[in-house]
Structure 1
Amino acid sequence: MWTVGGIYFSFSDIDEIHGDHQRKPGGMALESNLELVSPAEVMTQLPGTAMITSLKLIDILGTPHYQITYHASDDHAAHGSGHDQGQAAARTQLAVAASGELRPALSEEEATELARQSFVDSVGVARVEYITQENMTGHHEYRGSALPAWAVTMEHPTQTTVYVAAEQGVVTKFRNDKWRVFDFLWMLHTMDYQGRDNFGNLLLRVFSIAGIVTILSGFALFFVSNGASRKNKVRPHDRRRPVIG
């Protein structure tokens, strides 16, 4: 299965695996005379303990928004423990850039429309689901990305699901059938049947060592058996003619 997976990996277009060909090209273009409030006005509305780590201007369905990522230490004080003590929980806040008004996370309707606009083909929507944690039933394919998120599955032969981060207001991932085959073979390759990305798991280490031992023993067996066969072989000049009569 390692070999089969390697063949699939080497013959696959990684851009198609990632769904890049299904993402509509182009991005947000803003006019130079656009009137926006100062980001400082928005940041004054955040909690007093907020530490800003990122500030972006993004487009959500044709409307410019500020996307502010910050750390709120008071949130962590209530939920954190262990070696994470003293660190802050990361949050993302959206605000209408024209007015500075804070707004909630994307609704189902907004996320669905954003997914439709980002998809290259004009297709319908098969279903929409709201996910709040990784490895939820049917959505193990959405890993290492912002949560909560909307999973918008398109009515398309590739069964593509477009994931939209609700609090960030952006499309994060495309997942299609080619990616799912890739992910299944990747799971067999790494032998991490839960997270799929842990190369340091014990099972993989044991099988890797066993594989090396098997290869070395195969070479050893070849040379030993080949040497024994040469010793047992009767050379032509050592043969004696049979005595007749």
Structure 2
Amino acid sequence: MANKPIMQRLAKWHIWLGWLVGVPIAMWTATGLFMVAKPIDEVRGNHLRLPVEQQALIIAGSDLATPDAQLAEITMRMQDGRAVAILTTLDGVTSRVDVATGAPIPAVDAPAARAIAAERIAGGDKVRSVTFFDADEVPFDFRRPIPVWQIALEDGAHVYIGRDTGEIEAVRTSWWRWFDFMWGLHIMDLSEREDTSHPILILFAALSLVGALFGCILMFRRRKARVTASAA
């Protein structure tokens, strides 16, 4: 009997909490259902883009972008105090050259990857391991098909440095990996963690919205019953 007043108070607080959060929960589930109803590529209008044949990049008077080079993209960077051109061909092959001399720059090796991490990442000098991954064998927390060096730091962070670009391609902290796992649970896609519109997710989003709406309706019914009981 002593616990009855406590339980009654908890029930009362539960009702008031339901009034407070019921509408936002219904709003979140409704907007969530709307956002997962269509694939993100379709939302972005990518399905409307007509295919265009990719052409080689040619710059008149340039020794880099010649017709024979078959370049798709040139990106300019400052690396180690010099201007560097990162070249990507139509076949997806990436390399670097010194802009001033046109001389090819060797691919990043393990010591160079360590030096880049130490220079550009806080705590990057506290290295636990250095591992190279080919484009078709990259770790799950990277998920990009390019050859990279993984610099595993003592704090659990993974720094990924492109072998052919000399750039930091990604930084994955321990928190990021947990966030990525939770994101996979959130969209119900633990295998790829990219599909935000699939039948299972849409079904459960719809069921959640129905449940939230029922909860909001029942709060009015509970309040009406309490008012009737008080009047009696």
Return the alpha-carbon distance in structure 1 between the equivalents of residues 200 and 188 of structure 2: 7
- The question of 1:141 aligning with 2:141 is answered yes
TM-score (norm: length of structure 1): 0.59
Preserved CA contact (<8 Å) 1:135 1:141 = no
1:49 Cα shift? Answer: 6.0
Preserved CA contact (<8 Å) 2:117 2:125 = no
1:216 Cα shift? Answer: 2.3
- % same residue: 23
Q: Which has the larger radius of gyration?
A: 1
1:210 Cα shift? Answer: 0.9
Return the alpha-carbon distance in structure 2 between the equivalents of residues 98 and 134 of structure 1: 33
Amino acid of the structure 2 residue aligned with 1:68: L
Match of 1:41 in 2: 63
1:63 Cα shift? Answer: 4.6
1:142 Cα shift? Answer: 1.1
Match of 2:85 in 1: 66
1:127 Cα shift? Answer: 0.7
- Comparing both structures, which one devotes a greater share of its residues to helix? 2
Instruction: From the superposition, tell whether residues 69 and 225 of structure 1 become closer, same or farther in structure 2 (CA, over 3 Å).
Output: same
Match of 1:53 in 2: 73
- The question of 1:182 aligning with 2:182 is answered no
Task: Provide the aligned length of Structure 1 versus Structure 2.
Answer: 174
Return the alpha-carbon distance in structure 2 between the equivalents of residues 122 and 130 of structure 1: 17
- For structure 1, the 5+ residue unaligned runs are 7-38, 72-88, 237-245
Preserved CA contact (<8 Å) 1:150 1:163 = yes
Instruction: From the superposition, tell whether residues 106 and 219 of structure 1 become closer, same or farther in structure 2 (CA, over 3 Å).
Output: same
Which whole-Å deviations, capped at 9, do the CAs of 1:181-216 have from their partners, x for residues lacking one?
Answer: 222222222222122232112222111011011122
Query: CA RMSD for the aligned pairs?
Result: 3.2
- 4+ residue segments displaced more than 6 Å: 228-231
Match of 1:118 in 2: 120
Return the alpha-carbon distance in structure 2 between the equivalents of residues 66 and 229 of structure 1: 74
State how 1:97-176 maps to structure 2 within 5 Å: 97-121=99-123, 123-133=125-135, 136=138, 139-143=139-143, 145=144, 147-155=146-154, 158-176=155-173
Instruction: From the superposition, tell whether residues 107 and 171 of structure 1 become closer, same or farther in structure 2 (CA, over 3 Å).
Output: same
Instruction: From the superposition, tell whether residues 178 and 202 of structure 1 become closer, same or farther in structure 2 (CA, over 3 Å).
Output: same
Return the alpha-carbon distance in structure 2 between the equivalents of residues 226 and 95 of structure 1: 73
